[in-house]
Structure 1
Amino acid sequence: MLNTLRMILNLRVSSFANMLIYYLQRLPWLGRRISDRIYGNLRIKRIAAVFAFCLSLLWGFLAHSLYVGLVIFFPVRAADGHLSTPEQLALFWHIFFLLSFIIAGVANIKMLEPKRDKYIAVKLMRLSATRYMQATLGYRYAAFLVFLLPALLFFSARLGASPLTGVIVAIATTLWRLVCELLHLWIFRRTGTILIKHNLIVWLVILGGLAAAYAPLQLEWIPATGTLLINGPVMFLIAALGLTAGIRLFRFTRYEDAVEAATKRDDPLLDLGKVMADAQKSTVRTKESDYTAETLSSKAFEGKKGFAYLNAIFFARHRSLIYEPVKKRLAVLGGLGAAALLAVFVFRQQAASVAAGLGHLLPILLIVQYFLSVGERICKALFYHCDLKLLRHSFYRQAAAEHFRLRLARILGLNLLIAGILGLILTIVASVAGDFSVNRSSLILMWICVLSLSVFFSVHHLFSYYIFQPYTTELNAKNPFFLIFNWVISMVSVITIQMRPDPLYFTIAVLALSVLYLGCAFALVPKYAPRTFRVK
């Protein structure tokens, strides 16, 4: 197994080193000084591989520290004036449990995750699927424990937890992930279902888990989840289940079908057509009903020329990709609005209290608008059905600013429609729950926030697409700058929610940032997109 693990790590480090060199070449000033000959320089490649390995280890510690610190510890610490230290610790364990046990147990499982190195090792290098899975799972969770333990010890100690408790929780978290790996494998072998590819289930768990994790901070309520997590019998049960799952996974010898299912889409080198066919069945699938005689007729686009004509054809012939997500979001908003109205009539006093404090809930719109925005899905559809072939031509890249403006107008219109419905529902619910005249100023600020955020995220998704162009021919987002940029936006959103800013200042900041982002996009896309907007 050690030889297998060494080969897999060499493969990963080599791939990471090549990717590091590639993206360093794309940096301003520095990139011009890095020649393509570096790929063939064995000595430099070895140095780059060592650096890449050290960087991956450093990132492991940093990522877990940022996760525990910014996502869990900081929100709890921000409630310092309202909660005692033991209450903060209970909330810390509550949030950690929901995020690291419940959400991660569904959405962050590696057993059936498509990976390039999995395809290369098993399909191309003919490594045994069983040996590959045993080695990678062993390394994954050994590294997970090593990376998580220092962060958990440091931040939990600042809230009064003993070092022993931190060690026990870190071990229990690792063992629980093994239980989840076994459960996902069991579900796949019984039903053929790859749970992590069911986006509806995954996102319901993520959104429900996030709401349950952070709601106590807003309600100043201390749930018993945290106390239950560090309970001795519970820890013993998790340890027993985890050890049993680890033994079962290590002794299991029929991983071939699981690896085969996970690597079906990771075949970019030998069977690109199959990759695209698989991708077309999911997020970028079109329907025959989109191609009616009316949409196929050029008469429907008379008066349009150039890129306006091209984009008009695209949006007309891919209606299911463009408008179905909008309809689903509107349906969800309608259902949630009806449920909120019902709750208002059942819990009149609590609803009036929430309506009176509507302004302090405005930062939550950051997360809400991020998930309601349809920009990311439209960018994927644009890449697969339009840009994938056209980006190979320099004239199309040079005209990036022109089709950026055309597409932004379309995406902005859809997101403003969703934002308008959201604002209308919030206005109705708040007016029924409280006095409209009292909540008028909060409702005005809410409308400004909702519309500004729809502009912000419309620009954000399309700007990120043009400047970073993260999608490979496999429809995977692998550009590290794109991932870091989105991660920073997410972290800022989480931190802002926990800071509880003044509603007026928050609204002014959101409006100003949206206008500034729009201006920066119009300035930067013409300058950089002709060079960055290309097929990777």
Structure 2
Amino acid sequence: MRDRHNIKKQTQRQNSMAKTLRISFELRNAYNVNSVIYALKQIFLIKKIIPESAYGMGNLKVLFNILALFKEITGAFIGKLLYIAVMIFMVSGLYKGVEQPDAYIHILFLLTFVGAMINTYLFNPSRDKYYAIVLLRMNAKEYAIVNYGYELIKVFVGFMLFGCILGGVSGVPAYVNIIIPFFVVGAKLTSSAAGLYRYEKWQYDPNENSADKIKVISTLLLLLAAYGLPALKLIIPVQVSVVIMIVMIFTGILSIRKILTFDQYRTVYGKMLKEADVQIEKADNVKLEESRKAIQIDDSDEIACNKKGFEYLNLLFVNRHKKILWKPVMRISVICLMVVIAAIVSPFMFSDVKAGTKELLMKELPISLFIMYFINRGASFTQALFMNCDHSLLTYTFYRKPNAILELFKIRLKGIIKINLVPAVMLGCGFAMTLFLVAPHINPINYLVVLVTFPAESIFFSVHYLVIYYLLQPYNAGTEIKSGMYQVVTALTYVVCYAMIQIKIPTFVFGMAAIGFSMLYCVTACVLVYKIAPKTFKLRA
């Protein structure tokens, strides 16, 4: 009878946990589906196709369920592939004097301990935990254990699949590749159980996102050891790593009992999720406070007294935000000056550099687009505009009239161009001079093209970020970015600029194309702002 009762109780527990897992999937899927619908509704043209009722349409949600499932799968495994490939496999092949298999095991071994501390899964205050435990009042223990187990299975499968493939390519012994997935899971189990012990004994906050000093210092030291020691030709012996891996597997097995028997998950999650909300609120307040502190009110405001209307408003804004507009540009300009000096001096100090410099400036000028992408201040300029100016003025209808928008757009465009031109002109002049020194007998038009290309690209980025700010105004009243299309455009901007690194085009051809495109973009931008911005330049919900 007792055995039958135990079997029945165990069956009920298994059914309960299976139900919890199903509800967790449904909850996560609903959240993902709604996120996909919201993101698509932020994209121009597509948002007109998808009605507001899409959130409740069963047939349409089938498609979005497929997209959400794809997102779940890619998030589970593509992340592991990228982690192993970029953080371990590619880096391990860069060290000279160190065998790649040894470097691979060394880096993976130390990074696993970093992941065990800062990426536990069990103590991540994610939004789905808030919905399930706080709002739906699900059994916190069951929810924690079931979802933690699900995450560990994804980790195990990802490391077993991609770890064996990339480890095998690196020359890592097969038995080590098989041990590694068990080691990674064991390290996470051990770290999670240790967090639960510390909570019981000292009420230690297990939140993995908390800025614990010991955790931060340990992480930095482990990262330094992982990537720095191989450069010094110092590697943890493979035999030592394997022994510790096996030990961590056993400690992980022993840790399972603590994770399964811990009874304070609701208390821990309640405290952790509450603190997460407080931290987000504090972060937003800090951002606003820092933005206010950046405002300088001094005698320079009198300079604007002879201006009127939007010119007065813009000049007042620029004068009061010198800290966040001009100081970073001055720092960037100093760095650019150092780069230019190095570019001019190096060919004469090192003879083999001269030919490479000429090749770079004559055939690989598209790299300049990537450089200008990083040093332009367009994104920070528009963010400052919104937080300290447009945030309030967008509530007035006169501020969104076509003529007013176009007038202020042109005034602001002049301001941001002036800011971005300082380092751009410095780079243009410096590299034109460098080209003249390393190749004095080429067609002089090439010097002029190099000189003008950098300022032209700077103008393009100045226009680009201001245009997408006006046409896609991404911020809501809480200064959060809510435009999916804005994020798509900024991401594509980066991708295109990065792709230009791989392109080799004669300097004259690329330079003339960049200059012409920048001019055309400016004209098109003004037309689009005048026609479209009155409808799009508004506070988001």
Same fold by TM-score, threshold 0.5 exceeded?
yes
User: Distance in 1 between the 2:159 and 2:454 partners?
Assistant: 37
Rate the CA distance shift 1:442–1:479 in 2: closer, same or farther, 3 A. same
1:188 is aligned to 2:203: no
Matches within 5 A, 1:7-406: 12-25=28-41, 31-32=47-48, 34-39=50-55, 41=56, 43=58, 47=62, 50-57=65-72, 60=75, 188-190=211-213, 263-267=277-281, 276-282=284-290, 284-287=291-294, 290-295=296-301, 297=302, 300-305=304-309, 307-337=310-340, 340=342, 344=346, 347-359=349-361, 360-399=363-402, 400-406=405-411
In the other structure, the counterpart of 2:204 is: none
- Cα distance in 2 for partners of 1:336, 1:244 equals 52
The two structures have a TM-score, normalised by structure 2, of 0.65
Structure 1 position 45, deviation (Å): 8.6
Q: In 2, are the aligned partners of 1:416 and 1:455 still within 8 Å (CA)?
A: yes
Tell me how far 1:322 sits from its aligned partner: 1.3
Which protein shows a greater Rg? 2
Per-residue deviation, 1:255? 8.4
Equivalenced residue count is: 486
Partner-residue secondary structure (3-state), 1:501: coil
Whole-angstrom distance in 2 between the partners of 1:7 and 1:325: 49
Q: Distance in 2 between matches of 1:513 and 1:63?
A: 37
SS in 2 for 1:188: coil
Q: Which moved more, 1:372-381 or 1:399-408?
A: 399-408
Name the structure 1 match of 2:423. 418
CA distance in structure 1 between the aligned counterparts of 2:81 and 2:446, rounded to whole angstroms: 33
From the superposition, tell whether residues 123 and 237 of structure 1 become closer, same or farther in structure 2 (CA, over 3 Å).
same
Unaligned runs of 5+ in 1: 76-89, 206-211, 213-222, 268-273
Pair 26,355 (structure 1): closer, same or farther in 2 beyond 3 Å: closer
SS at match of 1:527: helix
Map Cα deviations across residues 460-517 of structure 1 (whole Å, 9 max, x no partner).
Answer: 2112222222234444434222222222222222322123333333323323332333
- 2: CA distance, partners of 1:2 / 1:168: 29
Q: Hey, what does 1:457 align to over in structure 2?
A: 461
Residues 131/62 of structure 1: CA separation in 2 closer, same or farther (3 Å cut): closer
Q: Deviations over 1:101-149 (max 9, x none)?
A: 89x99xx979899976677678877999999998888766765787899
For 1:443 and 1:177, the matched residues in 2 are separated by 58
Q: How far has the Cα of 1:448 moved from its partner?
A: 3.0
Residues 315/123 of structure 1: CA separation in 2 closer, same or farther (3 Å cut): farther
**What is the distance in 2 between the residues matched to 1:445 and 1:115?**
52
Structure 1 vs Structure 2: percent identity of aligned residues? 24
Determine the C-alpha separation between the residues in 2 that align with 1:57 and 1:146. Answer: 14
Corresponding letter in the other structure for 1:320: K
Structure 2: 5+ residue runs without aligned partners?
A: 1-16, 91-99, 196-206
The 3 A distance-change label for structure 1 pair 24 and 286 is: same
User: How far off is 1:331 after superposition?
Assistant: 2.7
CA contact under 8 A between 2:20 and 2:146: conserved in structure 1? yes
- Name the CA shift for 1:509/1:404 in 2 (closer, same or farther; >3 Å): same
Contact 2:42 2:485 in 1 (8 A): no
Aligned in 2, Cα 1:143/1:65: closer, same or farther, shift over 3 Å?
Answer: closer
Quote the residue 2:13 is aligned against: none
Distance 2:429 2:190 in 1: 44
The two structures, once aligned, show a CA RMSD in angstroms of 6.0
Inter-partner Cα distance in structure 1 for 2:215 and 2:171:
46
Distance across 2 between alignment mates of 1:365 and 1:177: 44
CA distance in 1, matches of 2:389, 2:312: 13
Change (3 A) 1:126 1:418: farther
Residue 525 (str. 1) matches residue 529 (str. 2): yes
In the alignment, what sits opposite 1:504?
508
CA distance in 1, matches of 2:457, 2:504: 17
Amino acid at match of 1:266: I
Displacement after TM superposition at 1:420 (Å): 1.0
CA distance in 2, matches of 1:379, 1:263: 27
Q: Match for 1:330: what amino acid?
A: S
* TM-score calculated relative to the size of structure 1: 0.65
Sort the Cα spacing of 1:337 and 1:194 in 2 relative to 1 into closer, same or farther, 3 A.
farther
**Distance in structure 1 (CA, Å) of the matches to 2:366 and 2:463:** 19
